[in-house]
Structure 1
Amino acid sequence: MPAVTAFLEQLEGWILEMAASLWIYPAMFVSAFVDGFFPPIPSESVLVTLVISAQATGLPWLWLVVPVAAVGAWSGDQVAYLIGRRYGTERLAGMRSARGRKTVSWARRALARRGAAFIIAARYVPVGRVAVNMTAGALGYPQRRFMTFSGVAAVLWAGYSTLIGIAAAEVLGHDPLLAMVVGVVGGGLLGLIVDRVVQRFTPREEVLDEMREAAPVATAPESEPSELA
C-alpha cells in the first residue's frame, strides 16, 4: 500500500505540472484510451487530479478535459471488445493467470445475469472493465448494444469522476486515492440503477437471439453464449 500511495503522489505531481499545458488534453485521451485495455494506466487518478487542479487554479478547462476523457474511455472499451472478439481471452497472457481466469469467469457470469449493469459498472473497476469488455467480445455480445452501453458507461464515468474530483477538492482534502474508492462503490450502484431502466425497454429474448447469431464468430465454446443476455 505505501508503494501505491507513493506512486499516486508522483503521478499527482506530474499531472499538476502539466495541467496548464495544452498537452494535458491529448495526455488525458491517451490515458483513458489505453486504460480501456491495459488496466495499469490509472485514468481515474488522472481525471480526478485534473479536476482538483481545475478547481484550484482554473486549469485545465473542465469543459474540454471531461469530454476528452469520455471519448478516450469509450474508444478504449471498443479496442478491448475487438481484442476479445478476435483473440478470445485464453490467448491473452494476462488472462491466463489464476487471477485472470477468475476475473474472466466473474465477467462471464456478470454478462449472463446483468449485461447492461456490468458493462456500465465495470467501467469503475480497472481490471474488471477489461475482463468484462474482452469477454463480451469473445462471447459475441451484440456489438451495437455493447457500443451503446459502453458509451453510457464512459459518459457516466467521466461525469462521476468529475464530481468526485470536485468533492475531493472541497471535502476529501485533496485525496485522489480515497476519491477512487468512493468512485468504485458509487459506480457499481450507479450501474445497477441504469440496468433497471434498460431492462424495462430491452427484452432478454432480444439479446439472447442476437447472441446466438453472433456465436459462430466468438472464440468461446458455442454453449456459452446461450447463457448471456
Structure 2
Amino acid sequence: MLENFNALVDGLPPAVVYLIIAALVFAEAALFFGFLFPGETAIVVGGVLAASGHLSLPLLLVIAVGSAIIGDSVGYEIGRKYGTRLLATRPMEKHKAKVAKAQDLIRRRGAFAVFLGRFTALLRALMPALVGASRMPYPRFLVFNAIGAVSWVVAYTLGGYFAGQAFDRAATMVGRGLAIALAVLVVVGLVVWSVRKRRREAKEEDEAREDAEHDTPVPR
C-alpha cells in the first residue's frame, strides 16, 4: 500500500505534494470542488505519505489546516457577496436537498453549524457560502471554522498516518502478500460503501426535488 503511494509521488519533490494537497483542501469550499472530490481524501493520502517518511507530519497538519480555513473564508465571502443569487447556480440547484438541510442546520445551530458541517463532504462545500449569505458576522464564523478545520484535519490526517504505520506492522507480522490482500479488501469495502452512500444521497435529492415540484402551486 505504501509502496503504491510512493510510486504515485516518485520524482515529485515534497513541496509539490504539499501544494497539491493544499490546493485540493482549499478548493473544496472556495471553488465548490467538494462536489467532485472530498478534501479528506487528500489529507488521508497525505497522512499515509507522512507515515512512509515522504512528508513531514507536523508541516502537513499546518498546511492542511491553513488551506481549510482560507478556503472556507473565500467560500464565505462568495456567499456574502452573491447571496441568494448563489442558490440559482447549477451546483446548488442540483443539490437542493443538501442546501435545504444546510440552511436548516444554520437556522437551528447558528455558528455551530459551521463546525458540524465540516465533517460531511457536501455540507463542507456548501456551508461557508450559505453562512456568508446568511450574513453571519465573519469573526464568529472564523472561530467555529478554525475549530472545525483543526479537528477535521487532525482526525483524518492522523487516520491516514496510523493506517500507514499499521500496514507496515501487519506486513512484518503476517507477510506483505497477506497484508496487501487485507488492504485491498478494506479498499473494496470502502468503495462499495461510498457508492451506496452516493446512490442513497442521489435518491434523497430526487425525492426532495419531486416533493418541491409537487408542492409548487400551479398558476391559474
TM-score range, shorter chain: 0.5 to 0.7
What is the distance in 2 between the residues matched to 1:120 and 1:159?
Answer: 14
Q: Higher Cα Rg: structure 1 or 2? A: 2
Aligned length: 168
- Kindly provide the amino acid, as one letter, of the partner of residue 51 in structure 1: G
- Cα deviation for residue 91 of structure 1 reads 3.3
Query: Is 1:47 the counterpart of 2:40 in the alignment?
Result: no
Partner of 1:35: 28
| TM superposition score normalised by structure 1 | 0.64
Q: Where in structure 1 are there 5+ consecutive unaligned residues?
A: 1-10, 182-229
Shift, 1:114, TM fit: 1.5
Partner letter of residue 87 of structure 2?
A: E
> Cα deviations across residues 36-76 of structure 1 (Å, max 9, x unaligned)?
23212332111111211221x21111111111011111111
* Higher fraction of helix: 2
1:75-94 to 2 correspondence within 5 Å? 75-88=70-83, 89-94=86-91
- CA distance in structure 2 between the partners assigned to 1:17 and 1:104 by the alignment: 40
Aligned partners of 1:16 and 1:53 also within 8 Å: no
Does the C-alpha gap of structure 1 residues 167 and 178 become closer, same or farther in structure 2, counting only changes over 3 Å?
A: farther
Q: Which runs of 5+ in 2 are unaligned?
A: 168-181, 194-220
Aligned residues of 1:16 and 1:49 also touching (Cα < 8 A): no
Highest RCO, 1 vs 2 (Cα 8 Å, sep ≥ 6): 2
* Amino acid in the other structure paired with 2:40: E
Q: Residue 143 of structure 1: CA displacement? A: 1.2
Return closer, same or farther for 1:168/1:12 CA change in 2, 3 Å cut-off. same
- The offset of 1:12, in angstroms, is 5.4
CA distance in 1, matches of 2:11, 2:74: 27
Which of the residues 118, 127, 131 maps onto 1:123? 118
**1:163 lines up with 2:163 in the alignment:** no
2: distance between equivalents of 1:129 and 1:142?
19
User: How far is the alpha carbon of 1:144 from its aligned partner?
Assistant: 0.9
Q: State the alpha-carbon separation in 2 of the partners of residues 105 and 12 from structure 1.
A: 38
Q: What TM-score comes out, normalization by structure 2 length?
A: 0.66
Partner of 1:189: none
Distance 2:103 2:8 in 1: 36
Mapped contact 1:84–1:133 kept (Cα < 8 A): yes
8 Å contact kept, 1:70–1:158:
yes
1:22 counterpart (1, 15, 22): 15
TM-align CA RMSD: 2.9
Distance in 2, Cα, partners of 1:84 & 1:54:
35
The answer for the alignment partner of 1:103 in structure 2 is: 98
> Once structures 1 and 2 are overlaid, which stretch shifts more, 103-112 or 41-50?
41-50
Can you list the C-alpha shifts for 1:110-156, whole angstroms capped at 9, x where unaligned? 01112343211211222111222211111111211001111111111
Q: Which residue of 2 is the match for residue 58 of structure 1? A: 53
Report what 2:215 is aligned to. none
Report the AA paired with residue 94 of structure 1: P
